[in-house]
Structure 1
């Protein structure tokens, strides 16, 4: 990923927050004759100094062959983003741009074939996304009929991606004058929707 120095995000906690808050990611696996791309929710685990990404795919997905072969892969997490109109800036002679945050996590895929580990992954994944729905009582697979979960996990393949390279970019007008940042943030707030307001808050922070 092309990252000019002004836009490089290096704070590990901030990077992990972006990944966890934008967990529906794109997984790109590299084959000898091309790539396979799939969209899926991913879990991010910090294991001391190491980082691992966990997920699962349907066994019918062509990316399964690449997971089983230990192919190189990159998980792409996209954070808040928004179009910036040059009319919003205080300074003249500006051009349109897009402000955004993105994280690329790369490594080699590793298949997780043990049924109990697959069940644990699915339980962890649902727990992570059920938690924000409180006070609703979280859904768990124990609510399913006996044996149904065991049958269903036969149709999926769990995997891990131990992260060997982590790159993060936060392009939030750091190269602009304070008055231009403030004016563009005000323009975003004027649009009113959550995505634009989220970018405005980051720019102002």
Structure 2
């Protein structure tokens, strides 16, 4: 991902927030036969306070990616959406796309069976927790034999990134009045409404304001 200093996202707590809230990842590697990509959920490693993520792939994707033997690129996509030039006023302009994205690169380590089971259990609990009657991995009608057989069809991994590139392109190159208009339109009920992207733009704008206030002290 080409970086622009104006759009760079470097705050660790913000990066962790994006990874945690948008865990559906594209996993890319350069295999012998060319580039390959898979799609899986990853979670922040709960035992770390950095950007280490854990996850799994179904077999034989571990062989396709040579998991543990070569570098992986894990791409996580935050809120994104279309920005029409009509929101800029009566000036020459073209459309753009606002987005938040985090790229994590590194060579993963392979989890043990016990570690992988713990990650799978955590994945199920994380997403089942939205239901009033969550169906957890070890609960009936599942039994231990079923769960262990399921685990054997996966390969768990832990990726501690050696390179992080993150970008928050949210109209920072536009004036405050235009940004206010964009946020209001995204928060509305028009054809390009996108409340999640509007919230992300507010968050970024507040962070910039706080940084300017700190510099002025």
TM-score class, shorter-chain normalisation, is: 0.7 to 0.9
Q: For residue 82 of structure 2, what is the aligned residue in structure 1?
A: 83
- Any idea what SS the aligned residue of 1:173 has? coil
Q: For residue 117 of structure 1, what is the aligned residue in structure 2?
A: 115
Structure with higher strand content: 1
* 8 Å Cα contact 1:67-1:111 kept in structure 2: no
* 8 Å Cα contact 1:81-1:195 kept in structure 2: no
User: Map of 1:1-205 to 2, 5 A cutoff?
Assistant: 1-45=1-45, 48=48, 50-61=50-61, 63-90=62-89, 92-112=91-111, 114-133=112-131, 135-137=132-134, 139-143=136-140, 144-191=142-189, 196-205=194-203
- Any idea what SS the aligned residue of 2:51 has? strand
- Which deviations, in whole Å up to 9, do the C-alpha atoms of 1:112-142 show, x marking residues without a partner? 2x32222111011112222333x43452323
Q: Compared with structure 1, are the counterparts of its residues 68 and 177 closer, same or farther at alpha carbon in structure 2 (3 Å cutoff)?
A: closer
Structure 2 length normalisation: TM-score?
0.83
Distance 1:201 1:121 in 2: 30
Distance 1:202 1:50 in 2: 22
Q: Compared with structure 1, are the counterparts of its residues 140 and 102 closer, same or farther at alpha carbon in structure 2 (3 Å cutoff)?
A: same
- Any idea what SS the aligned residue of 2:56 has? strand
- Which deviations, in whole Å up to 9, do the C-alpha atoms of 1:165-198 show, x marking residues without a partner? 1111000011101111111222222346897111
Structure 1, unaligned stretches of length 5 or more? none
Distance 2:133 2:105 in 1: 36
Distance 1:87 1:60 in 2: 48
Q: Compared with structure 1, are the counterparts of its residues 130 and 194 closer, same or farther at alpha carbon in structure 2 (3 Å cutoff)?
A: farther
Structure 2, unaligned stretches of length 5 or more? 204-217
Superposition CA RMSD, Å:
2.2
